[in-house]
Chains A and B, each alone.
Chain A
Amino acid sequence: MNEFGSLLFLPSIAAILSLVIQNPAVTRKFCALAAWIQLVIVLSMLSQILTGHVPNLPFVSGLAVDRLGACFIVLTTFVVASCLTHADYFFQAAANRGDEYSANRVKVFYASTNIFLMAMTTVFCCDSLGYLWIAIEATTLSSAPLVYFERNKYALEATWKYLIVCSVGIAFALLGTVFIFAASQRGDIQAATLNVSELIAGSKALNFPLLRLGFIFCLLGYGTKAGIFPLHTWLPDAHSEAPAPASAMLSGSLLNCALFGIWKVSTVILAANPTAPAFQLVSVLGTITVLAASLLIIRQHNLKRLWAYSSIENVGLMVFAIGLGSGPLFFLQAVNHSLAKVALFLLAGNIIQATGTKKLNKLHGLMENAPSWAAALALASLAVAGAPPFGAFVAEMSLLTLSLTDHRYILALTITIALAISFLGILSHTGKVIFGAGKPNFKHFAEKRAVAIPVLLILCSLVIGLAVDTATWMPGYDHKHISQTQRKVAEVSCR
């Protein structure tokens, strides 16, 4: 319990302190610093797992970090740290613009952000599906105040929808967990358990129909939380009404937790029966989500909703990666999406603060007003749309190559078309924002500092795009000719 405790120790202290400290400037600086220190702690603690020497690091009976979980923890902490650093600029710019946020609102923001970070870290440490469910529900509850930060009518409506739809969705995930637990009890393994490692070990002995039913309900529950197509309705509202740093965190890290839930459950059903038809549902759902989101992107009128829908599209891609049974590919897509999407939401926040409007048809001429922002926005939207030099291109190409080796031709074709549509949708919207005559009432405030974090994130995505060779970096991933079942078993065992 001690390592796990030390993992969460610093954010809890930060949460308490941010409630206690009166002067908001101090809390802002302190929380940002705490987040970066937390990143260092996490890196040092999980260095064995990250470098692959130790398969996984068990804490208490239900909590154990495996390789994928460790990578996600590092990514989430990095995302939260960069968002908090930018939040410092965000609040100063708000003050400079005139409508200063009241002190206790900022305190609630920082407290719930730190709790949010704790909840997300626990999600990735969970081995037991029960604890996983609790942690994900905790992330929902802790992110509700973040969405409700603006305290206006729209934020209220967004929060209410977010809370109700997600809670009901996750309730079904609980039903799924119950069924999986019942499957382990009915199966002839010695002790009924919820721990994924034990479930995988005794997977052949589980009562398969119950397990399949449980998997479907978990897919439905965590899918609502992730934003799969028919269940995505809460996501655009929540992300467009939350303040920029909050919506960056929501998009950048919260979606990964829900998808991690789906991944955990799918490893169980993969171990039980790799060619289960129920498992095909996952990749089909992923493709439908990518296609629907790319069609929705074309007709967007609000800058932040545009980026929310592009998050839904990337969630679809990640679900498709899970449907192919490749964990490393799922993480590669998650990293690229988080980096690019956080940069985009932070830039969107800057633009909305400077121009005062979210409407796409009122935003134009950013190149005239703030050339550095325009360049960053252009590069970031290219990164998220999957243009080559950036990491998303590598992820999408490996995804499509893998889907072809799995003989899923129709799905691969649909995704290629959907990616083309969303690329054009995103670039035409960004083009309209960047080019055109400048806006007269553009409030400039520390232009260079505002774009520091986004540029850092774009550079990381560029490094992934150019320097990372998928074959060496991810041992489980090998796009040479391996038959579908043999590769899945290989990957699951390397977990």
Chain B
Amino acid sequence: MAGKVKIFPFVSFMIPYIEAITPSSLFITACVIWSSGAVLTVVSDLTKLRLEDRWMTGLSIAGSLATIIGSIKSYTQTQAFGFSGFPNFGLAPLTCLTDSLSVPFTLLLGLVSLAAALATPSFTHTLATKSQHNHFFRLTFLMLSGILMVLLSANAIAFLVFWEVMSVAAASLITTDHIRHRAQRAAISYMTASRIATALFTAAFLWMQHLSGSFDFSAWHFNDPRALPAAIMLFLGAATKAGLWPMHVYLPQSYAEAPGPAAAILSGVVGKTAIYLLLRLLIQGNCESLPVIYLALALGTVSCVWGVLFALVERDLKRLLAFSSVENMGLIVVALALTMLARHHGLDMVMAIAVTGVLFHAFNHGLFKSLLMLGAASVERATHTRELSQLGGLAKRMPWTMLGFFVGAMSICAMPATNGFASKWLIYQAFFRLACDEAPLFDRAIALAMVGVLAFVGALALACYAKAIGIAFLGRPRSRQAQMPPESGIDNLAAAQILLSCLCILLGTSAGISLSALSPALNLLTQCSNDTGSFFPLAIGQLSLIGVFLTSAIYLIILGPKTKDIRTYITWDCGYGPLSARAEETGSSFSHPIGRIFSQILQLNVETEIQGKDRRHFPEAIRVETKMSPFIETKAYRRFLDVVNWLSLTLTRLQTGSIHVHLLYLFLTMIVLVLLGTTL
């Protein structure tokens, strides 16, 4: 085994350059760069100034680089800084804290925003007017600085302020192409979900302030039973923002409607801020109350299975990715619940592995989900459609997007030698260790059951992404849009995808080394100081080297010499004559067998209609239609919205317009008030 490498190799190379600058100044420069970009767009709106895309992407890249270096710098040096004077949010001044827990998340933000910035120029030419350009850049910068400050703020009020700024900026970013009503509806549903999350957070923060007397996160302890309602509200708020099962409804709409780079940032990083909050408060505040644990386990498991099932039968590429992030978020929350369960039973090793699994999977999911989103966005940019039934045969036309999407799919399905496998392996290992340790029987049963469920969900994810790649990229083009001219070389979008894919593969193969970078975060969260690198003993790096060597050996020795005399001919058509693209497997038929097995959950029903005189033997026209109604949206949310509408309808009926009725209200209230006042 290669010797244990203590410091992340990348850091040791950079230290001489960035010794002098403190992480706080780097993060502040990132915020200043981004907000100056936003102000620049406002100025260009008011004046005739025409902003070149190059400058704005340059600004954005500078901001992300500052964030990346800042997070690396804060890896070695924890720093608490605040602004006593200017931004003072009434109840508490703006105090920030960069410690080892915020390192993975700020690094993720830096990397994903760098990739999104790289990809932006190839999207902005699809935006028609100058005002839309400025709108897009202004709100991206606002969202990015909002996310950064959310990750840094150390007290509840500052957190809420920047959380709201982030949510409002993200919601209005979704309506960049605001002429379409779908984009507006998506923004409203996104806004509703984030406002519900904010309301739950506000209630939880107020309760904790009531208990502890101050708004600072460090002063809050979640281990005393009085903090239980706050912990539950906090978890539900984070679940809404991360998009867990019952509150996932807004996720597919808003990720699908957002423009390319924005969708990458939204799906990659914004969901992770909720996980960061849970880590910061529940884990660091060592919460171990059983109701929260079992609620998290239940919601996480259901959203794992639910998300991937609906992703499998989804026909729109971006919605498919959104549903699959519901699954991954469920996975992270399940691992979080496992950490708290392990702490409750005092099993330190299981707790350490689970926390490392949560941190590493959140980081990895951010990377490969934004990679996939960029791939889907580049497909939408080229073919102007996201419907799988109209795509096909894009591999030859868009080789780089295909490669990026392929690496992203491999890592999301946790294929060995990718970062997805390393983090999912850690979560498997945590559950496995819990089953082995002497925990109560019920929890060991849950752990083993979870191993089975995760295997099931893994297989479903494999099916889902096999469909996504197979239908979208391979085979024959199914529509005229898909037959567009091939991409010319590597444009900046492809560069972004290549950057992210290399990161995924690098993290995957060097899992042992890159994991040891999480030791300080583990130490902060759970006070056990073993090196996280040791949790991943598999020699995954050597194995992938052997695998590559073997494949190339087989390819060169056996297939190589014979490549020149390969004959190309039509695909096997079983004698029916040259088949058109319609004979090809479509997205819905690929997932139909699985849909049929789970038809209760998916509400899948198939109508076949056969016309013709003798319908049984000589059908003239057959029409088959499969309909699938989303169970949660139609049953639960429709009813809830009807109740709210009915309530406000009855209230508006109160305003009858006739003055006599208004006077009657006055006198009735008088009588009621007098009675209440005097008798109380």
Contact = CB atoms under 8 A, between A and B. Distances in A.
Given A233-B655, A299-B652, A382 B168 contact: yes
Interface in A153-184: 160-161, 164-165, 168-169, 172
A213 interface: yes
A420 B670 contact: no
B648 A466 contact: no
Contacts of B162: 388
B662 A165 contact: yes
A475 interface: no
B655 A236 contact: yes
A231 B89 contact: no
B606 interface: no
A280 B648 contact: no
A260 B662 CA distance: 24
A148 to B, nearest CB: 16
Nearest to A480: B213
Interface in B485-500: none
Given A296-B648, A400-B206, A420-B195, A388 B160 contact: yes
A230 B651 contact: no
B173 interface: no
A428 interface: yes
A252 interface: no
Contacts of A401: 91, 206, 209-210
B450 to A, nearest CB: 34
Contact of B673 (A209, A220, A367, A470): A220
A420 B196 contact: yes
A219 interface: yes
B178 interface: yes
Contact of A295 (B175, B203, B651): B651
A367 B213 contact: no
A303 interface: no
Interface string B643-665: 01101110110110001011101
Contact of A394 (B46, B90, B135, B196): B90
A22 B197 CA distance: 58
6 contacts: A230-B665, A295-B651, A375-B45, A404-B207, A435-B175, A480-B213
Contacts of B184: 431-432, 435-436
Output the residue of B181, B187, B662, B665 with the most chain A CB within 10 A.
B662
Nearest to A391: B90
B659 A398 contact: no
B233 to A, nearest CB: 10
Contacts of B196: 420
Interface string B160-183: 111111001000100100110101
Contacts of A169: 666
Contacts, number: 180
Contacts of B179: 435-437
Question: Which 4 A-B pairs give the minimum distances between C-beta atoms?
Answer: A394-B90, A388-B161, A435-B178, A277-B680
B90 A230 contact: no
Contacts of A470: 90-91
B507 interface: no
A455 B530 CA distance: 56
Contacts of A209: 678
B33 interface: no
Contacts of B676: 278, 281
Given A165-B662, A479-B91, A281 B165 contact: no
A172 B78 CA distance: 64
A86 interface: no
Interface string A412-448: 1100110111011001100110011100000000000
B209 A295 contact: no
A438 B649 CA distance: 30
Interface of A is mostly: helix
A213 B665 contact: no
Contact of A405 (B45, B210, B670): B210
A465 B86 CA distance: 11
A216 interface: yes
Nearest to B160: A388
A220 B93 contact: no
Interface in A341-378: 367-368, 371-372, 375, 378
Interface string A278-320: 1011000000000010011011000000000000000000000
Task: Give chain A's interface residue range (CB within 8 Å of chain B).
Answer: 35 or more
Nearest to B178: A435
A437 B179 CA distance: 5
Contact of B644 (A219, A220, A295, A405): A295
Nearest to A468: B90
B46 A231 contact: no
A330 interface: no
The interface size bin for chain B is: 35 or more
Given A165-B666, A213-B674, A398-B91, 8 more contacts: A209-B678, A212-B677, A404-B209, A412-B203, A420-B195, A420-B196, A420-B198, A480-B213
Contacts of B191: 424, 427-428, 431
A404 B199 contact: no
A454 to B, nearest CB: 15
A487 B172 CA distance: 43
B157 interface: yes
B668 interface: yes
A458 to B, nearest CB: 13
A216 B164 contact: no
B346 interface: no
Interface string A215-247: 111011000100000110110100000000000
A103 interface: no
Interface of A: 160-161, 164-165, 168-169, 172, 209, 212-213, 215-217, 219-220, 224, 230-231, 233-234, 236, 277-278, 280-281, 292, 295-296, 298-299, 367-368, 371-372, 375, 378, 382, 387-389, 391, 393-395, 397-398, 400-401, 404-405, 412-413, 416-417, 419-421, 423-424, 427-428, 431-432, 435-437, 465-470, 479-481
Interface string B187-205: 1100110011011001100
A219 B90 contact: no
B669 interface: yes
Q: Which of A165, A367, A397 has the most CB of B within 10 A?
A: A397
B669 A231 contact: yes
Contacts of B674: 213, 216-217
A161 B647 CA distance: 26
B665 A231 contact: yes
Contacts of B195: 420, 423-424
Given A234-B662, A404-B210, A298 B673 contact: no
Contacts of B135: 367
A219 B673 contact: yes
A207 to B, nearest CB: 14
A375 B138 CA distance: 12
B46 to A, nearest CB: 7
Nearest to A234: B662
B202 A400 contact: yes
A170 B91 CA distance: 37
Contacts of B649: 299
A177 to B, nearest CB: 15
Contact of A165 (B42, B202, B663, B668): B663
Contacts of A424: 188, 191-192, 195
B87 interface: yes
Contacts of B199: 416-417, 419-420
A262 B210 CA distance: 29
B599 interface: no
Contacts of B93: 469
Contacts of A427: 188, 191
Contacts of B668: 230
A367 B178 contact: yes
Given A393-B161, A404-B207, A233 B648 contact: no
A397 to B, nearest CB: 6
Contacts of B45: 371-372, 375
B629 interface: no
